[in-house]
Structure 1
Amino acid sequence: MELRDIEIFLTLAEELHFGRTAERLHVSPARISQAIKKQERTLGAALFERTSRQVSLTPAGRRFRDDLLPGYRRIQEAIAKATAAGHGITGTLRVGFSAAWCGNLIVKAADVFNARHPGCDVRIQELPLNDGFALLRARELDLQLTELPAGEPDVITGPTVFSTPRALVVPAGHPFAARSSVSLEDLADVRLITVIGPPRYWLDFHLPSHTPAGRPIPRGPATVAWQEVLSLVGAGKGVCPTSALAADYYSRPDLAFVPFRDAPPIDYALLWPPTGQTPKVSAFVQTLLTVAGRHG
């Protein structure tokens, strides 16, 4: 089995979607399907279960993925090291993050990256909530890890690093705080704290104006900073959707984080300028993906 075939299998095992896998690898869905069928014939075992609605790994597929991943990551690391040696990865790499959990992962990746490339200094900076693309556009950052969607024509969306379920942060004394979960339809019965500045498509996904059934969602105060969002929620001025990971990073006695049972997850991806895929950026991307895999 060639390295490209291994890459196709592992990418499909991560995405569980032929279209997204093809998009990431810049090939057609038919090419992905042909490669998987060839692998299954060679191995004599089905690796994926396919229905009209979903793709999932078979037990044999899960074992194959778990056996391949360590070796594939070592190959990626070896390629990154060889690239660094050939191109001289030095200077400064400026990396941004949009949430504390993204920053935590970037710090871990930076430690690994610095050990491999001691001549390159990684500087890490938090992104403003109200304009998550400003620093990238101003070339004050080389790379950032942020939540999707990111439909900007002058920004390249790289690989998705991880996804998280969503939760609703509410005042600790709110009736929703006693629930085990909430629905997107419940947003019609509360006031939503909103953010000033992000593009409309971003707001529609994270802070929608209507429920899936079309009911309007009342608006509460608007702000430009995450800590202000939490303070407004704690003061009883409204509620706000966020990542479920926020409960681990922003726990406060005046707040409660209630999981959504029907909201789509939040994907976090790497972004860079159109001309920004330099050897330094490519090497850090590979390091970050490896570190993210090790930490689940």
Structure 2
Amino acid sequence: MELREIEIFLALAEELHFGRTAERLHVSQARISQTIKKLERQVGAPLFDRTSRRVALTPIGAGLRDDLAPAYRQIVGGVARATDAGRGTGGVLRLGFEAPGVADLVTDVLDAYRSQRPDSDVQVREADFRDPFGLLRGGEVDAMVTLLPVTEPDLTAGPVVLTEPMVLAVPMRHPFSRLDSVTLDDLARDTVFRAARPAPPYWVEPPEPWTTPAGHPVRRGRVLTTFQELLAAIAAGEGICPLAAHARQYFAHPRITFVPFRDAPHAEWAVVWRRAGETERVRELARVIRSRAG
């Protein structure tokens, strides 16, 4: 039984008139009659009592109507919701952020998206530090803004939404705290933490051996599992850590100083989405980001 046949049957069961049903569905009365006869052959019993004066459901027809109507409404509603999401018609763009502070730094982009899609809004979610792509892969967000690089086979790395310099987080009494700036070679002068992220591995561990541009070896700090744990270790004098510059504003700590790098590559934050979950809303966000970059 095809969906169109179910639609015709349910419409006739409601209208109880071949002419009105044909007009409602924009088909001929002959098509209505042929479809009902086909269904009756398939069921093996009449679904309607038809006379020259009236059309009425048989008991079997009424039972079939009661069984099919809820399922039909659910199917049609599901297809409509999926179509709206795919086309970006109304609704909410759910956007995850690996670093919540970055959401404040790209408000101009989000405002531009809202102006392009006045029937939509943006709902911001913070990603779990221990599982940065969990919300995305679980379908809880449509896209997310995360630090590059991203080389996941199931994810598409879209345009860069924010570029910012790097700083070195050091204890307040560290010799570097009195400097105006540092270099990547200065990393060899202390124990260095990485902003620990359990996955993917290319975010966590640099190539072996970890050396500075001049070839000096870098001592690795112990493994840390949360950002607050990282800040506590730096404040306690256990080591230092390169971070994106927004950390100065959003993670200010009375016992930590953030010193600018002179030669470190800038951090790049990009919008990322599931290859199998690309919708018109996501494409529109990417277009807005590209247009502002251009």
Amino acid at match of 1:148: L
| Bigger Rg over Cα | 2
Shift of 1:108: 4.5
**Partner Cα separation in structure 1 for residue 232 and residue 290 of structure 2:** 34
Aligned equivalents of 1:131, 1:206: Cα separation in 2: 22
Choose 156-165 or 224-233, whichever is displaced more: 224-233
Asked if 1:104 is matched to 2:99, the reply is: no
Q: Distance in 1 between matches of 2:282 and 2:138?
A: 17
- Counterpart contact for 1:147–1:266, Cα < 8 Å: yes
Q: Which residue of 2 aligns with 1:226?
A: 227
Question: Where does residue 142 of structure 1 map in the other structure?
Answer: 142
> In the superposition, relative to structure 1, how do residues 280 and 88 fare at CA in structure 2: closer, same or farther (>3 Å)?
closer
- RMSD, matched Cα: 2.9
> Which sections of structure 2, spanning at least 5 residues, go unmatched?
1-83
The equivalent residue for 1:125 is 125
Shift of the 88–293 alpha-carbon distance from structure 1 to 2, 3 Å rule, reads closer
After superposition, where does 1:80-95 map in structure 2 within 5 Å? 87=87, 89-95=89-95
Superposition map of 1:249-260 within 5 A: 249-260=250-261
Shift of 1:277: 2.5
**For 2:161, what is the secondary structure of its paired residue?**
strand
- Cα distance in 1 for residues equivalent to 2:94 and 2:208: 29
Aligned residues: 209
Partners of 1:199 and 1:256 in 2: how far apart? 28
The 2-side partners of 1:180 and 1:198 are apart by 33
2:207, 2:108 → 1: CA distance? 27
Q: CA, structure 1 residues 266+226, in 2 after alignment: closer, same or farther (shift >3 Å)? A: same
What SS does the corresponding residue of 2:222 show, helix, strand or coil?
A: strand
Residues 203, 281 of structure 1: CA spacing in aligned structure 2 closer, same or farther, 3 A cutoff? same
Paired residues for 1:177-256 under 5 Å:
177-194=177-194, 195-204=196-205, 209-256=210-257
The SS at the match of 2:275 is coil
Maintained 8 Å contact 1:103/1:126 = no
Relative to structure 1, the CA distance from residue 181 to residue 123 in structure 2 (aligned partners, 3 Å threshold; closer, same or farther) is same
Consecutive aligned runs of 4 or more in structure 1 exceeding 6 Å deviation: none
Counterparts of 1:157 and 1:256, CA distance in 2 = 32
Q: Deviations over 1:49-99 (max 9, x none)?
A: xxxxxxxxxxxxxxxxxxxxxxxxxxxxxxxxxxx9x94522232101122
**1:270 maps to what in 2?**
271
Separation of aligned partners in 2, 1:88 and 1:278: 7
What letter matches 1:183 in structure 2? T
Given that 2:159 and 2:270 are in contact with CA atoms closer than 8 Å, whether structure 1 keeps it comes out as yes
- How far apart, in 2, do the equivalents of 1:95 and 1:207 lie? 35
2:171 counterpart residue number: 171
Letter in 1 for 2:98: S
Which residue number corresponds to residue 155 of structure 1?
155
In the alignment, the residues of structure 2 paired with residue 225 and residue 114 of structure 1 have an alpha-carbon distance, to the nearest angstrom, of 33
User: 1:175, 1:253 → 2: CA distance?
Assistant: 16
**TM superposition shift of 1:286:** 3.3
Between the aligned partners of 2:197 and 2:275, the Cα distance in structure 1 is 26
Q: Could you tell me how far apart the structure 2 residues matched to 1:198 and 1:186 are?
A: 27
Query: Shift in Å at residue 282 of structure 1?
Result: 1.8
* Rounded Cα–Cα distance in structure 2 between residues aligned with 1:207 and 1:231: 27
How many angstroms apart in 1 are the aligned matches of 2:208 and 2:92?
Answer: 35
**1:222 counterpart SS class:** coil
* TM-score normalised to structure 1 length: 0.62
For 1:103 and 1:267, how far apart are their aligned partners in 2? 14
Q: Percent identity?
A: 38
CA shift at 1:221, angstroms?
A: 2.9
Q: Compute the TM-score of the two structures, normalised by the length of structure 2.
A: 0.62
